[in-house]
Amino acid sequence: MSRMKIEEVKSTTKKQRVAAHSHVKGLGLDERGAAKQVAAGLVGQELAREALGVVVDLVQSKKMAGRAVLLAGPPGTGKTALALAIAQELGPKVPFCPMVGSEVYSTEVKKTEVLMENFRRAIGLRIKETKEVYEGEVLEMTPNETENPMGGYGKTINHVVIGLKTSKGTKQLKLDPAIYESLQKEKVQVGDVIYIESTSGAVKRHGRSDTYATEFDLEAEEYVPLPKGDVHKKKEVIQDVTLHDLDVANARPQGGQDIMSMMGQLLKPKKTEITDKLRKEINKVVNRYIDQGVAELVPGVLFIDEVHMLDIECFTYLHRALESSLSPIVIFATNRGKCTVRGTEIKSPHGMPLDLLDRIMIIRTLPYSQEEIVQILKIRAVIEGIQVQDESFKVLGEIGTKTTLRYAVQLLTPASILARINGREVIAREDVEEINELFYDAKSSAKLLAEQEDKYMK
């Protein structure tokens, strides 16, 4: 493989479990790296936030690759929230790949394969290329339709006429229908600033031309100036991709074109097509690009939540993968104390083998005070659009200290529904108390189980 496919690479960002953490916007540190008590949606937990600030610095200065951090603390102390805060802090150009330990168990894909894929999602590559492009503000976009020559319904598009404008002049282009599809995919409209690569036909939308900046817009739009120079020109294009994106783009479907193999492709997840051989090839090309200065490595963060779910096979693999030259920084999180390492009989702190634990920096998260719990509840109430009386916040805070923060946060929505049933807009003390009687937190449920053990099936 002398040339890698990069034109058609679309970043495959994973969906994150953010709903419960949507108020978290960053680590909330000042210029000197000190944590403000309440900032960026985070409350308290100052030491952990400051430590993670150092981690972010190390990632950004690329001194951290191949190291690992463990966030350790009781349930509901903000480990997952802090990891997502790091992602925000790193910005969109540095890859951040979150996963949960139990994700590795699947009947179709090997455990180490899942880990490998996620490792490669967390390693970015910034590729600089000089490309021939057509760039400008879209003046017109007219698809030219004809009756479908095969008969049947609908029309086919045989070409699309597009007018592009720069500060220097305008140009009208007649383009292939395939490009019309990419224009639609990028949701290009008249008034947008775009470029079209002349070799691949790939379309990229920069944003809306700032001549339209006075337009009333509900969604936040990015306004960009009219491009300078000619419409047709050479342009340095920077593309941020991950190694996993390259794997996917270069994996070729196997088998012939007969129906059976098509079915096979539909049934089989696409990941099985990425082989070790392909990855080695890609690594080779990547390393050459880096040597030639065409590309730059951007090590990101792989976040493995609930790491105690991994077994010894995974840990062995991780240990080795961390030594590789193409490695991200790995952040683990767990709420377990001493427990057995899965797949062995060995008891170990956090359920991780000692030799791996030995090379990890551990950051502790501590339980919150009642006051901090109330502060977090207040932030969540705003986010969820729920009104709460001050007294009810206090009761929820007390419940939170007795149970966990998460339980208290989770009571907000049901309590607001109950308040409405009781004919109130604002959650009152009675609503909180009533809802707390309807549901059980883990601790009281466990207590009840112990008391009534003989009544349950075994």
Ligand X SMILES: Nc1ncnc2c1ncn2[C@@H]1O[C@H](COP(=O)(O)OP(=O)(O)OP(=O)(O)O)[C@@H](O)[C@H]1O
335 binds ligand X (CB under 6 A): yes
409 binds ligand X (CB under 6 A): yes
Query: Which of the ranges 79-87, 141-149, 161-169, 276-284 carries the binding residues for Mg ion, by CB under 5 A?
Result: 79-87
45 binds ligand X (CB under 6 A): yes
Query: Which of the ranges 37-45, 99-107, 197-205, 390-398 carries the binding residues for ligand X, by CB under 6 A?
Result: 37-45
80 binds ligand X (CB under 6 A): yes
Q: Is 135 exposed, middle or buried (0-12, 13-18, 19+ CB in 10 A)?
A: buried
d(CA 250, CA 2): 12
- Comparison of 122 and 309: residue with beta carbon closer to Mg ion: 309
In total, the chain counts a number of residues equal to 458
Closest residue to ligand X, based on beta-carbon distance? 78
Distance of CA 320 to the CA centre of its chain: 25
Residues 12-71 that bind Mg ion (CB under 5 A): none
Taking the CA atoms of the chain, what radius of gyration do you get in angstroms? 27
- Comparison of 55 and 405: residue with beta carbon closer to ligand X: 405
81 binds ligand X (CB under 6 A): yes
Three-class DSSP category at 190: coil
- Single residue of 406, 430, 440, 444 touching ligand X by CB under 6 A: 406
Q: CB of residue 297 vs ligand X: minimum separation in angstroms?
A: 30
- Comparison of 21 and 244: residue with beta carbon closer to Mg ion: 21
Q: CB of residue 73 vs ligand X: minimum separation in angstroms?
A: 6
Which of ligand X, Mg ion, none has residue 78 at its interface (CB below 5 to 8 Å by kind)?
Answer: ligand X
- Comparison of 98 and 124: residue with beta carbon closer to ligand X: 98
Phi–psi pair at 297, nearest 5 degrees: -80, 135
Give the count of alpha carbons within 13 A of 30, CB side only: 7
Q: CB of residue 43 vs ligand X: minimum separation in angstroms?
A: 4
Q: CB of residue 382 vs Mg ion: minimum separation in angstroms?
A: 22
Range 319-325 contact pairs with CB under 8 angstroms and sequence separation of 24 or more: 319/353, 319/355, 319/356, 321/115, 321/116, 321/119, 322/66, 322/67, 322/68, 322/359, 323/66, 324/66
Q: Assign 3-state DSSP to the chain and report helix, strand, coil percentages, each to 5.
A: 40, 25, 35
- Single residue of 80, 403, 404, 416 touching Mg ion by CB under 5 A: 80
Q: CB of residue 19 vs ligand X: minimum separation in angstroms?
A: 9
Among 331, 381, 307, 407, smallest CA distance to 82 is for: 331
List the end-to-end C-alpha distance of the chain, in Å, as a whole number.
Answer: 59
State the residues that interact with ligand X by CB under 6 A.
20-21, 24, 41-45, 73, 75-81, 335, 365, 376, 405-406, 409
